[in-house]
Amino acid sequence: MDIHKELDTRGLNCPLPILKAKKALTEMHSGELLKVVATDPGSIRDFQAFAKQTGNELVEQQTLDKEFVHVLRRR
């Protein structure tokens, strides 16, 4: 997977990971991938809802120890 931009939102709670992802996506081109690493367990459902609301594709979600990795494709 060719990640174009990566955000480290470890230690931040909702809604900050979503807000930072939203800002990053506006600076990206259509089809590019954004990887967000978070420690907030609520980020799993937050990013699912965010993808549905914005039309950006949630390509992948992973839980690695106490970190949550979200990969979004810019619409």
Q: Is 14 a catalytic residue?
A: yes
Out of 4, 8, 12, 14, pick the active-site residue: 14
Q: How far is the C-alpha of 54 from the C-alpha of 58, rounded, in Å?
A: 10
Q: How far is the C-alpha of 53 from the C-alpha of 66, rounded, in Å?
A: 26
Closest C-alpha to 71, from 35, 40, 39:
35
Active site residues: 14
